[in-house]
Structure 1
Amino acid sequence: MHQKQIEKKALLITAVFNFFSGTAGIIVYILTGLNAILLDGVFTFIAFLSAVVAILISQNSHKQTKSFPQGLHFMEPLYGVFKAAFTLFLLGMTVVESASDAYAYFVEGIGAPIVPGPALPYAFLMAVLCILLSFYLRRMNQSIHHASTMLAAESKSSLIDGLISAGVGLAVLVIRLVAIDGTFGFLHYTGDFFIIIFLVIVSIKEPIDVLKESSKELFGATLDDGETIQAVRMIVKEGLAIKEDDVLDILVYKQGMKLVANVVIQDPEPEVLKTCLDAKPALQETLNAKFPHIELVFTF
């Protein structure tokens, strides 16, 4: 199956799952009033909307236009940047919201006890499903040599969603086990604040990693995926009938699914130049067999 087809199928599955689970989360929040459930539900529903956007980008990023003759591949890392930035914003807003409730209880003595309702079965079910979805997306991306920036972003987003759901479930379980008039009775009023703080600390690394990697792709940094670089270099060196000393370096760039293999030749003689140009069509075909969206470039 073509890389784009695999990506689109995985994103479609993600969108359908996130729509139903996000809707369920918002319904459970209305029934319980738990801020942690609101974080979980809104996070998942936004993941649905972003998955829809990702599908549209996946369908169009390879298309060439007059202004962008090399295609619109920059849209894929741009998506990753916005998705990660919005995830960080959402985590921050949830901390502020839950902290204000905790402040009102501890300082002003204002607050209502948490009503768990159906939160416990919902949270643990969502945790299992989200983590399974994360592993599925990661495996699909592995099957296309980690070519999809969007699948990487969605995989980490689903993992965060699963961790949030698991944390909510644990918090609700603790609240059910603690007596409201006991030493830890305050958890009935502020339990979701503590679990949100814990979850943000645990999960914040994921969107930061996506933001960093997507930004590097967007601004044209060289690829640091050792496996892909090694595969490209091996194919190029085997396909070029010139001395290895003539090749100064082989640089690999990635922007979305598009790869660029830049073969830097030092002090080329006319014979070396001719050999490279003659070998380019066959070498390009060999590279495309493993990496469908790759462009071979020689720099002399």
Structure 2
Amino acid sequence: MRAFNTANNKKGDDDYFDRLLSYFQSQFYDRILQMIPIRKSVIFLRTDKNDYVIKGYHTNSRLRLQEAFTATLKKEGFKKTYLFLTSPVRDQLFFEGTYFGCMEYIPPNKNVFSFHTHKNRQEGMELLEQFHQTTASFESRYRTLLPKGLLIEKWTERLNVFSNNLPYLGYFINEPFISEMMSWAKWSLEGMENNRVCFQKEPTVILHGDVAHHNFLRDTEGQLHLIDFDLISIGPASFDYLQYANRILPFIDWSFERLSSLKQIKKYLHEEAFVFALAYPADIFREWNRMIREKSYTDHTKYKQVMDLTISQFYARKKFIDHLKELLD
């Protein structure tokens, strides 16, 4: 019935999932056939009637917010996502301090979505634009429920954490690289701050906040869906587009020309704040800060990925940033 035994599972994990499976069996109307952890607090559940995704939250209010938000999205016309369901279960799912929501399962396409092709990058951008157009119509209802998207403040803090990690970073990265990356960040933040009005004059929407490739899901029919709204906030759409640009630039060889071929981004390239923001090495800082915090540098695969992001792409990124500086001079 269960499918969560792997060579790396600890006995404690198995014991927990045994208890969780037993609890779900008592709460679902349908008979459970299979339970597979996808990642922390996200579980695939197969019953004799349907498939579901079960997701855990630390508080009931966070779960209720996600239920309300996805329901509003669907009601306002954004159909390419999931809904939370209450009908399969007898009562609110609460187990050992975690509140669980039961979501529709979207069967994935055998071809996993990635940013490798122009078609996918364009399609992901268009879906994100549809999401913003929909949330613009109801963001005022969520202003008291969601935090404000404060990109400059967030990136300033990320730089501070990276700076505090310098004693550790020196073991992995040679000094000229570190100094250069920090100079990019400081130049970017100063330019964003001096042109902050560009962001302030933009209409506000509900931001997705995590536009990584794994949050775009293509179903078996070929339709692309946007998932995982844990980091939603209120702010200008350009904040999501900046994150999207940062995610796709490694796949387009840090080409300004190829980036500007996306019409949703092209319209922002005359805004100085946006161009300054493109220079900020958000991905490098995010991954090194996380790796040092979690001490995951002993994981060879993760370490290689972060080093590739940092060093292998360094000169292509530097050329891109030098081009941004030329544009702004």
- TM score, norm. by length of structure 1: 0.27
- The structure that has the greater radius of gyration is 1
- TM score, norm. by length of structure 2: 0.25
Which is bigger in relative contact order (C-alpha 8 A, separation at least 6)?
1
